[in-house]
Structures are given as C-alpha cells and as structure tokens.
Amino acid sequence: MKAKSKKGLTASQLPSGSWRCRVYDNALKKQISFTAPTADEAVMQAQKYKLTHESKPADDITLTLGECIDRYIDSKTNILSPVTVSKYRNIRRSQLSDSFLALKLIRLTNIDAQQEINRLSGIYSPKTVYNASGLISAVVRTFRPEFAYRVTLPRREKKKKALPTPDEVIKAFKDTDMELVVLLGLWQGFRVSEIRGLKKSDFKNGVLSVNRVIVTADGKAIEKELAKTEQSKRSLQVPPPIQKLVDKVSGEYITTLSGESIYKRFKRKMIRLGYPDATFHDLRHLNASVMLMLGIPDKYAMERGGWSNTATLKNVYQETFTPEREKVDNIIDNYFSTLYSSN
C-alpha cells in the first residue's frame, strides 16, 4: 500500500504496519530509508533529510569529523572564551583518535561515537570525556543537524578527598608571598582567574568589586572584562587583614603570578602538610563549606561566591569538616544512647 506522495516522496506500508519512505542521497549514491508509525511522519522525515542535504555545499558532504571540528572551532573563536577554545583545540589535537577524526561526518554512526567514548573513558577522567563528547555533539549539531547524537557517558562520581581546615591553611601561608592570594581564595571565595584580574583600584572604601579576570590560553595571559557568569561580577566587603595586605602591594595588580605558579606553590605546601590531593580551587570549596557550617542562607552564599544556582553550591562546593561531622555524630549517638538505655 502506498500513500502521501509529496514532492516525489512516497510512503509505503510495511507488513508490520509501519510506514517507510525512501529518499536517494546523491552524495552517498544510495537510498536512505525512514520508518515511522504513520505515512505523514515517514514522508516528513524523508523530506527534512532531503532538504537538509540538498542545501549543503558539496564539500560539506565529504568533510571528515576532524575537518568539521576545525571549522567549528574557527567559527566560534570570537564567541567562546579563549580558555574554551584552547580546550577544544587540545581535545582535537591530543585526545580524539586519528581514526575517529578521519571518519566522514556523513558516515558517522552512534556506534562509532560510542566506541570513541569507550576508548577515552579508559584513559581520561569522566569530566574530560564529558568535555570531548560535548565538542563532538556541538559539531554534529552544526554540520549534520538531522543526526541524533546519542552516547552513554561514564558515571561521574564525586571524589571524596581530605582537605585541610581553614585554620591549617591560614597558618601555612601566614607571612608568605602567597598570603594575600590564599586569603582571597579562602576568605573571599575568589577563583584564580578573578584574583589574577584584581587591581588595587578595585578596592574602594572598604568594598572590593570583581570586574575582570585574567586567564591563560595557549600559554598567553588574556585579560577579559567579563567574568565566568553574570553572577561572578560582584562586590564584597573587604576585611581589615586583607586590606592591610592590599595596601602593601606596590604594583597595579594584586598579583603578577601566573595561574600555574599559584597552583604549583599551593600544591607544594599542601603536600608538605599531608594533603597531596588539595588544589588551590579547593579554597572555594572550603569557603562554601564554612558558610554552610555557619548557617549562611543560600541566597547570600551564592552572591558571595558568584554561583548561579544552589545546585552547584550544594552539590559541588559545600563539604562537611571532619571535626564538625564528629560533633554531629556525637550529638546523634548521645541522643539514641539515651533513648536506648532508658528502655
């Protein structure tokens, strides 16, 4: 049975009851089939495919995945942040396999994509695999929008690691050349890029305003007026200890250290203290955790830390301190012990 002829497209009913419409792809030199519960749906799918592919330049049909990635990155150079562009180029250069990049995008299947994701998952962290998959997905949506990109990604488990207490951090960096940088991360909750972008002129009348960041992309320091999110542009009260350290700074910027230098100096100190997994960014986790411990309402905590939603604040940044957990354990144990002994 045939029905729904539209612009040369006809749907035929299969023995199963479904409807199938075929369209000839000139580039692939073969028929492409579309099956749907109704004739209308089958014809619409085939028509969409035909229109999409007929509107593409001939060279787009023969592009490899690697060539499409290059074109995608080049088209986004002035839109995406320099750090994101640098990360994409690194994924293209160092992570995706040559065989995967050599595939014609028009021939890419979800099996091909899944095999590449499986390979990446055996080498890199889930976060890195997610980033690589995100790039592939964006490229596919741009150059082959009719293709439904679907892969299973590795499970992202929150890694529990031992972190120093705020008191340990303060003592470790007191009276060192890293003291101000560390306090801005721990006390004020700033990111490394925000700290690098701070100028003495940003400190006025006891208030600090975050107006810019400095990031490193492809080995070059780049200053940006816009921070990570709109919420990142914020103002905080400056505590006296931090203001005193700021007053001692002789240059225009609060620090001239690169992001890598800050991370490495912090890391060395943490290793000596017995916290080899701790990173400078963990100071933001400590800052969020202190606010949780002190009962600071989410709204104010989000404003201080520049988080755009409570999910990020609670699920990613807020932790519990071991001494505080022990207090909570003791309170609960004492409560139930009293109940148990009275029965």
Token digits for 215? Answer: 């990031």
Identify the pLDDT of residue 343.
42
pLDDT digits (tens, 9 = 90+) for 230-247: 555 677 888 888 899 999
For the chain, which ranges sit under pLDDT 50?
Answer: 6, 55, 58, 320, 328, 343
Cα–Cα distance for residue pair 106/27, rounded to 1 Å: 9
Query: Which residues are 1's β-sheet partners?
Result: none
Token digits for 62? Answer: 């023969």
Return the CATH superfamily for domain 166-323.
Intergrase catalytic core (1.10.443.10)
Cα–Cα distance for residue pair 134/209, rounded to 1 Å: 33
Identify the pLDDT of residue 227.
52
The ranges assigned to domains in the chain are 2-55, 62-143, 166-323
Of 58, 61, 48, which Cα lies nearest the Cα of 21? Answer: 48
Residue 252's SS3 state is coil
Query: What number of residues does the chain have?
Result: 343
CA distances (Å), 45 to each of 142, 146, 192, in order?
Answer: 18, 9, 49
Burial of 123 (0-12, 13-18, 19+ CB in 10 A): exposed
Identify the pLDDT of residue 163.
86
Cα–Cα distance for residue pair 96/98, rounded to 1 Å: 7
Identify the pLDDT of residue 31.
82
CA pseudo-torsion sign 173, 175, 176, 182: positive
Residue 216's SS3 state is strand
Identify the pLDDT of residue 291.
78
